[in-house]
Every structure is written in C-alpha cells, then in structure tokens.
Amino acid sequence: MQSRPVRLLLVDPDRVTREALHERLKEGGFEVFLAADGVAGMELTREAKPDLLLWDYAAPGFDAPELCRAIRREQDLRGIHVIVLAEDASYADRILALDAGADEVVAKNVEARELVARARAALRGRRIVEELAAERHRASLAALAVALEREINNPLTAMFGHIELILQYVEKGDPVRMRYHVRQAGEVASRIAEVAQRLVSLHEIRTHEHQGANDSERG
C-alpha cells in the first residue's frame, strides 16, 4: 500500500511569498495547503492535520507563539513539526517561539531549496523517533504476551491437578474433600479468566494500532 504524500501547511500573509513557496514545495513532493492568516491556518490544521507547518511569525489571528501553544495543547495536533518563518523577529521573539513549542525558527528570506531540505530533514528525524518508539512498544507488548502466557500455564497445571483429585474423591465417596477441590478449581478458573481477558485486551490494542497505521497511510 502506497502512503499518502507528506502534508505541509504554509501560513503567510504575503501572497507573493505564498505563491513562490507553494510552487517550490510542490516540486519538493509535498501536498501543500495555504492560508493567509492564523485563523484560517488553525482551521486547516485541525481539518487536514498536516505533518508540518510553515508559519509566519507575525501571522494575523494566530502569531507563531500563539499557534505553538494552541497545537501543543491538542492531542491530535501536538505531534506536528512547526517551522517558524521570522522576518523581523528579535532574539527574544525567537526564544519565545521556541519556548512556546516551535521546533525551528528560520529566517523568512531563507532560500527555498534550503527550506525544502529543512522540511524533509525534520520529517526524517520525526519518523526515526516514531519508528523507534513503535519498536519499543511492540517489544513491550511481546514481553507482556509471554508473561501472560506463563500466568495461564501455571494455573492450568493446578487446575488439572484439582480435577484429577476431584475424580479420585468421587470414586472414594469423599464429598468433603471433593467439595474442597471443586472450590479450589473454581478459584483457579477465575484466575485463568482474568489472564485471558488481559490477553484479549492486548489483542484489541494491537488490532487498533494496525488499523490506525492503515488509516494514516490512506489519510
């Protein structure tokens, strides 16, 4: 299955800058969304959920620090990589944007080829981090599955033992000991049922993750 193109949202109030960057970013293989102000940009961010934002520092409606604080508060958006385009921002303004959650602050007059390269590099780094996190998660799920399997095997052994004793006491006509082992077998069965439910939950988590990965590829 082929994954969708990388989505990039450019927010810049200057039409000439938008159009020029739009063409270069499309040539770079990005699916590009455009907005002239921060309000429209936020609406598009929530609707399209781009992989990367190029946001003019002084965009009306939502400047860069406001934008960063807003998206880092939203679960569905907080993973978006944000590159802030700064023209006249002071050193203090740049620090403010980074502290608010921006990943990079670059000069607005940066050459388009460098901006495309920065965007690609940012996404490569993000994907490596996500792949490592996913691998660690898969390893932890596998370890949990092994542990749960052991938790089932031990009670099963005990269950078979109680069943064998029950059969023996049935033959001997000893209802007292028979009832005792029936109760013990019931407790063991409850433990097995709990572990089985945890295994079902583990399977549901993995199924959900697989479906989520397919949905993101279809995105």
End-to-end, the C-alpha distance of the chain in Å comes to: 12
Taking the domains of the chain in order of start, what are their residue ranges? 7-110, 134-218
pLDDT tens across 20-75, in order?
889 888 888 899 999 999 999 999 999 999 999 999 999 999 899 999 999 999 98
Let me know if the fold of 7-110 is the same as that of 134-218: no
Say whether pLDDT at 6 is over 80: yes
One CATH from 3.40.50.620, 2.60.40.10, 3.40.50.2300, 3.10.310.30 for 7-110: 3.40.50.2300
Q: How buried is 88 (Cβ within 10 angstroms: 0-12 exposed, 13-18 middle, 19+ buried)?
A: exposed
pLDDT for the residue numbered 84: 93
pLDDT for the residue numbered 2: 42
Cα–Cα distance measured from residue 50 to residue 80, given in angstroms and rounded to the nearest whole number: 7
pLDDT tens across 81-104, in order?
999 998 877 888 889 889 999 988
In sequence order, the β-bridge partners of residue 219 are none
pLDDT tens across 152-197, in order?
666 777 777 778 788 887 888 888 887 887 888 777 777 777 777 7
Class of domain 134-218: mainly alpha
